[in-house]
Structure formats: C-alpha cells, structure tokens
Copies of this chain bind each other. A is one copy, B any other.
C-alpha cells in the first residue's frame, strides 16, 4: 500500500458516496444516506480533505457538453425558453448535493465549516472558487434576512449558546464564565441574530454597555469588578463589541440590520437613553501607517512612527511611552486615516466602513482608549466612538450608500485637517489595502 495515495483514496471514497447520494431517486432513505456521507466526510484528515474539496470542485460541475449546447442555442436564439434551459444546464449538481447534505444531522454546520475551509484555501487552490460560488449561492437563500430573528441574550439563555459567545468573541476576548456573567448584568445588554437553521448558534452578536456619559476607555467597561449601574441612572448605550460568528458565512449579508434593530430595541426599553455610540478599534490604522513606510522609500516615516508601526504589525509589544510622545501626530494621522483614506471609494478602515454604511457618524477619537496588549498593537491604544442618532441613521446611510460620504463631528474634521508637514501624506491617503485584522460583519 502506498501511503501517499491514501488521502486521495479516502477522498475518492467519499466522493463516490456523494455521487450515490445524489443519484438516489428514492427519498425515504435520503436522510440516512446523507448522514452516512457526512460522517465519512467529517472523518477525513487534513490531506484527504484537501483532495476531497478539489475533487468536489471538478466532479460535480454541470456537464460541459450540455452547457455548450444550451449556450449555443441561446446565442443563436436568446428566447425565454432557451434562457431557462441554459439556466438549468449551468446549475452545478453540487448545489443539489449540498441541499441533500443539509438533511443530515449537523448538515448545516458542516456546510458552513466546509466554506470556511474553502475560503482559507482558495488562494492556493483556485479551482475551489466553484465551491465557494455554489455554497455562497445557497447561503444567500438560506440565511436570507427574512428568516433571521433578533434575540436578547442574558443569563437565562442556554449554556450551549453562552458557550459560543465565549468562543466567538473576537474584539474583546471573554475570559471564562465569570467574565461573561459581568457582560450580561443589569447594566449590559447583548443581542444576537439567529437563523432557524442554527437555532442555538448566533450568527452575529453585539455587546452593549449602559453608561453615564460617553466612555473613552474600554478597560473600564470590561473590568469584571467594575461597579454595577442602575439602568435607570444611565443615559448612554455603548456598542463596545460586534462579532461575526461564522467565518464560513463571510460575505453573506445580514449584519447591517443588527445595529438598527438593537438601537430600536434599546430605545423601546429605555426611552430616556438618547445617545447610542460605539467604542471601536481602528484596526486598519497601523497597517496603513506601516505600508506607507515601505511604499514611499523617498519620504520615510519619522523614526518614532516607523518603530511603532513595525512593532504593531509584527506582533511585538508596543512602547506606550513612545506612543505618548507622539500623541498629537498619532491622533491627527488617525483622524486623517479615518476620514480620508479610501479603498476604492469606501473608507479604508473596515470598522469605519461597517458603521458608516450603517448610518453612524464619526464622533470622537480617544487617546489610550484601549491599553490592552491587543489594543495597543491593534490601534496603538486609540479607540473611536461612532454615534448613531436614530433620526439620522437612515439619511446618513443613504448618503453613504449613494456616494460613500463620510460623516464626522466638527472636532474630528478639524483634527483630520491638521495633517501637514508629514511625509507621504498624499501617498498615505491614497494607499489601499484589503487586509483587515479583525473579523467584521460583512
């Protein structure tokens, strides 16, 4: 036996089971068979899985001859009938395979996990693009926003679901059940979108703190020993963390509604609260700063900024003292980055993109608003408040949707305008990147 052939043999066996499942005319035994295929698939080790995905990408495609025939027919006569025939001809049998796998216990989770693998490996295996296309197509139907429900999560929620929060939280890690419990106390709120296809597993969740005044520091908010406020005494709702839970659903749009619905729900419960803000990181800032350094060798960054950006992007600890020495430059640069740096026409910063698209405006930049190791590395300790005013949200959102208008407070606009005497300003402004250091809702 040639062990190097093994992964391929294992993959081929499961592919053959898939073909069997798909050819099945009878439906009574479908669920059982789908279960078997799924178990076999999930038992594949890493190399076999890679082989399996590559086979899947090529073997369950629509038959080329029929596609060509239908395409020819349409080209010579683009009638409705010929279009319908062409549509049917080009649909991958894979889609029906995926629909049948969804009948197995745990089928949906497995398909989401499959797409996660696909997204991670598609650069290396370009043929997997076909898998991504088919899975995305199905997910767009299955996770249609019409099916999602916003649910409040609190200490009476099932442990199954709460455990997922601990596991998924990407912005400010939850350190166990004790930490979680503080985040679900009377002066906190947590909301999530759920799909009936994954009833105990949140798709995206948002954590809210009820505070007096707009906070600038996230450590104070997160401190498990921080004082409990009476909700009646608070005047501000702070969205301090938003997490997209399922990497396999990246790009499937459902996140944008969450903020608006949560804001409405909070207003219903606390009519007195008029201020809704975020306390957000600026996850693209250090990358932008760092790339500027490399991209424009003729006008290098001043040494301090260069040191900081190098440390932050290479995962080393950031020197707080040096940060503080450069406070003004950093605040101005960051304001400039948030307001003026673009990826195509949209803001370069992924968090800014998200909130501005949702109808928020840039409100305030906070110095040393997140002094955790991660916070320093992520945004050199800066945090930003985006504010949501319910009356303006829709108008802001339309303005952004139409021409990517970036709304900001006067203070921030002034700060962003200061930038001068710095090297490579124009280059910085025009630099674009696609990397984002935090998982953000699509």
Chain A residues close to B by CB (< 8 Å): 24-31, 57-58, 61-62, 64, 67-68, 71-72, 74-75, 78, 80-81, 83-84, 86-88, 90-92, 99, 102-104, 107-108, 127, 129-130, 133, 138, 140-142, 144-147, 155-160, 162-163, 176-177, 181, 196-197, 200, 253, 256-257, 260, 357-359, 393-394, 397-398, 400-402
* A43-B158 Cα distance, complex, nearest whole Å: 32
* A90-B176 Cα distance, complex, nearest whole Å: 49
Inter-chain contact A155/B160, CB cutoff 8 Å: yes
**Contact for A158 among B88, B107, B158, CB less than 8 A:** B158
Inter-chain contact B83/A141, CB cutoff 8 Å: no
A148: nearest chain-B partner, CB-CB = B103
> Beyond the given A64-B78, A84-B129, could you list 20 further A-B residue pairs with CB under 8 A, ordered by the A residue number?
A25-B401, A26-B397, A28-B393, A61-B83, A62-B83, A67-B78, A67-B83, A67-B86, A68-B75, A84-B130, A84-B133, A87-B91, A87-B133, A99-B144, A99-B146, A103-B146, A107-B146, A155-B158, A158-B159, A196-B197
Inter-chain contact B71/A29, CB cutoff 8 Å: no
A417, chain B: closest CB distance, angstroms: 28
Inter-chain contact B397/A28, CB cutoff 8 Å: yes
Which of A28, A140, A142: most chain B Cβ within 10 A?
A: A28
Known: A99-B140, A144-B102. A26 touches B398 (CB 8 A): yes
* A155-B159 Cα distance, complex, nearest whole Å: 6
Residues of B within 8 A of A102 (CB): 144, 146-147
**Contact for A156 among B155, B158, B257, B358, CB less than 8 A:** B158
**Contact for A28 among B74, B127, B359, CB less than 8 A:** B359
Residues of B within 8 A of A68 (CB): 74-75, 78
Closest 4 CB pairs of A and B: A196-B196, A26-B401, A71-B71, A102-B146
Inter-chain contact B145/A142, CB cutoff 8 Å: no
Residues of B within 8 A of A58 (CB): 80
* A120-B54 Cα distance, complex, nearest whole Å: 44
A225, chain B: closest CB distance, angstroms: 18
* A81-B126 Cα distance, complex, nearest whole Å: 9
A-B contact pairs, 23 of them (CB 8 A): A25-B402, A26-B398, A27-B253, A28-B260, A28-B359, A29-B397, A57-B80, A61-B80, A61-B83, A71-B86, A80-B127, A80-B130, A86-B90, A99-B141, A102-B146, A102-B147, A141-B141, A146-B197, A155-B158, A155-B163, A156-B200, A158-B158, A158-B159
* A406-B86 Cα distance, complex, nearest whole Å: 36
* A127-B79 Cα distance, complex, nearest whole Å: 10
Residues of B within 8 A of A402 (CB): 25
Residues of B within 8 A of A92 (CB): 87
